[in-house]
Amino acid sequence: MADRYQSFTRTAPGRFLTRRLGLPQPAPLRRWSAEQPLLDGPVLHLTAGKPAPGLAPVLARTGLDVRTGDAERPAAVLVDATGVRTVEALAGVHGALHPVVRSIADSGRVVVLGAPLDPSDHHQSAVQQGLEGFVRSLGKEIGRGRTVNLVRLTDAAAAESTLRFLLSPRSAFVDGQVIEVDAAEVTAPEDWDRPLAGRTALVTGAARGIGAAVAETLARDGAHVVVLDVPRAEDEARALAGRLGGTALGLDVTAADAADRIASALPDGRLDVLVHNAGITRDRRLVNMPAERWSSVLDVNLASVLHTTDALLAQGLIPRGGRITATASIAGIAGNSGQTNYAASKAGVVGLVRALAPRALAEHGVTVNAVAPGFIETRMTAAVPLMIREAGRRMNSLAQGGLPVDVAETHAWFASPASGGVNGQVVRVCGQSMLGA
Ligand code: NAD
């Protein structure tokens, strides 16, 4: 799993050689740690056009060192472009970032705030859509482990959890994304360091890999975690649950009685956060793919997600304020040779999220979102042949693979009680992969 190329570029001869050859220079990414939970440096808050009402108090509440004037080496720059409605006003975004972009610290953040497109005003729609091209291009050129994302918001107050996430080391591998935050009643957690205290979360496929990182991250955030995995991985699931003070559940998610078994494993009879992470691949080109390989992937990755979600919602086990998060994949967005079954299942997850999100919110007060990981360093990707693995790792703006914790942090942001305005989103955690971008 070690990224030897990245280690080589950090040696003196490696740096010399790879620079001479014009090869990628993956920068070390700053990730969350208990000792260093925040980015190191101030957040520069700039505005193009009319400012978003209510944004300043939200930023003040985050406790970040927000400056509107001078900041020599900002760790992040937040550009409020919500009020940009004309091409002339769009120039204010260039004017704000052009002088400061060079000074942004390594592993820093650029977050541009936009507004939802106004269908009655094609000038506003044009320039607000223009921000997408701007953000995606700056993400590709900025380098040094720095990321660039766009948040379209209606109400600044509902965006607090999203701003805290994007302006922190937790979003290290989230790059080039467009995230919509709706107006919503937001429940701020009593303690932002333990937003899931008193809540129960269940993570499928959590004995290892990304699922184990999700379980650890939700437990760090205060949740009681039910660690679900197939019966043959029950020992690992039990060991992890023991470490996290959670509960283990040996269960195949495709079992006919999966939802009932989940219901009876819940310590308080309610599930606040449901994370669909279990997934398998059975790669073959379509010409060589027997029906069994097709259906085993569709059963685990999509049918079980549909059935358990429906049953748990229908039984009223997910209370108001509950969160359902699922794991898609960039393969479901871009397609991938040899993965017609896998890509169909993951694109299916995207379809499920988009259709269910508004209904689940209206009927149950529950949000539904998905993470679409790109190349993540796991056993799954370690088994990929060398040349394909290297291409997957490097073909993104950060020129490296992500870590399971990067996917986990994104699930944790969706899971926060303060993320009620984040619904129906599919956020890629891919370092702005070129695939399907
Ligand atoms: P992994 O193979 O390391 O872990 C998957 C876990 O799911 C295993 O513990 C496995 O036992 C469990 N599982 C499989 N079938 C199950 C079933 N029927 N019931 C219960 N548990 C079951 O995989 P990973 O790399 O950690 O991937 C986790 C998720 O992320 C998957 O949905 C995968 O498709 C998705 N994903 C991974 C990557 C990547 O780069 N690794 C990229 C995109 C998407």
Angle between helices 340-364 and 304-314 (to 10 degrees): 10
Taking only the tens place, the pLDDT of each residue in 371-419 is 999 999 998 888 888 888 898 899 999 999 999 999 999 999 999 999 9
Distance 279 CA to ligand 1 centre (A): 4
The per-residue pLDDT for range 183-217, each reduced to its tens digit, is 998 889 999 999 999 999 999 999 999 999 999 99
With cut-offs at 50, 70 and 90, classify the pLDDT of residue 437: low
Phi (first) and psi of residue 342, to 5 degrees: -65, -45
- How far apart CA 281 and CA 297 sit, in angstroms, is 6
Residue 123, token pair as written in the block: 């000038």
How many Cβ atoms from other residues are within 10 Å of residue 141's Cβ?
9
Beta strands in 257-356 (DSSP E): 273-276, 323-327
Question: Mean pLDDT throughout 253-275?
Answer: 97
Distance of CA 309 to the CA centre of its chain: 20
Average pLDDT along the chain: 95
Q: Does pLDDT of 5 surpass 90?
A: no
Residue range 275-295: mean pLDDT, rounded: 97
pLDDT at position 11 is: 86
Q: How far is the CA of 333 from the centre of ligand 1 (A)?
A: 18
> Which has the closest alpha carbon to 26: 12, 11, 8, 6?
6
Going by CA atoms, what residue is nearest to atom 44 of ligand 1? 329
Cα distance from N-terminal residue to C-terminal residue, the chain: 25
CA 146–ligand 1 middle distance (angstroms): 28
The answer to whether the CB of 243 falls within 8 A of the CB of 220 is no
Structure tokens at 279: 């997934």
Name residue 224's beta-bridge partners. Answer: 200
140 burial (CB, 10 Å; 0-12 / 13-18 / 19+) is middle
* CA pair distance 359, 313, nearest whole angstrom: 11
Q: What's the CA gap between 235 and 393, in Å, rounded?
A: 32
Secondary structure of residue 102 in the 3-state scheme: helix
Closest residue to atom 31 of ligand 1, CA basis = 279
CA nearest to 202, candidates 244, 254, 257, 231: 244
Mutate to test the pocket of ligand 1, among 216, 217, 227, 230 (most ligand atoms within 8 A of CB): 230
Give the model's pLDDT for residue 8: 83
Please tell me the distance from the alpha carbon of residue 77 to that of residue 104, in angstroms, as a whole number. Answer: 8
| CA-wise closest residue to 48 among 110, 114, 101, 108 | 114
Q: What is the mean pLDDT of residues 268-296?
A: 97
pLDDT, position 273: 98
Which pLDDT score is estimated for 386?
A: 87
pLDDT of residue 1: 56
Number of other CB atoms surrounding residue 145 within 10 Å: 23
Residue nearest to atom 33 of ligand 1 (CA): 279
Catalytic residue annotation = 342
Mean pLDDT of the 314-325 span = 98
**pLDDT above 80 (res 6):** yes
Question: How large is the ipTM?
Answer: 0.99
Which token pair is 300?
């685990």
**Any residues with CB less than 8 A from the CB of 295 and at least 6 apart, and which?**
none
What strands, in cross-sheet order, belong to the sheet with 367-373? 247-250, 224-229, 200-204, 273-276, 323-327, 367-373, 426-429
Burial 81-105 (b: 16+ CB within 10 A, else e): bbbbbeeebbebbeebbeebbeebb
User: Which atom of ligand 1 lies nearest, measured to the CA of 281?
Assistant: 34
Query: For 247, phi and psi rounded to 5 degrees?
Result: -130, 140
Q: Which amino acid is at 153?
A: L
Percent of the chain predicted with pLDDT > 70: 100
Given a contact cutoff of 8 angstroms between Cβ atoms, the answer to whether 81 and 131 are in contact is yes
Q: Which amino acid is at 36?
A: Q
Closest atom of ligand 1 to CA, residue 380: 25
Q: Which residues pair with 200 in a beta bridge?
A: 224
Strands 109-114 and 323-327: unpaired
With beta carbons less than 8 A apart as the criterion, state whether 334 and 410 touch: no
Ligand 1 centroid to Cα of residue 399, in Å, is 23
Question: What confidence score (pLDDT) does residue 187 get?
Answer: 85
Ligand 1 centroid distance, CA of 355 (Å) = 24
Percent of the chain with pLDDT over 90: 88
Q: What pLDDT digit, counting tens, does each position of 327-353 carry?
A: 999 999 999 999 999 999 999 999 999
Ligand 1 atom nearest to 402, measured from its CA = 40
Q: How far apart are CA 115 and CA 437, in angstroms?
A: 21
Taking the CB of residue 130, how many other CB atoms lie within 10 A of it? 16
| Closest of 313, 402, 423, 260 to residue 357, by C-alpha | 423
Whether 91 shows a pLDDT value over 90: the answer reads yes
Q: How confident is residue 25, by pLDDT bands cut at 50, 70 and 90?
A: confident
What are the CA-CA distances from residue 179 to residues 115, 121, 126, 145, 290 (Å)? 11, 21, 18, 20, 38
Ligand 1 first shell, C-beta below 6 A:
204-205, 207-211, 229-230, 233, 252-254, 277-280, 300, 327, 329, 373, 375-376, 378-381
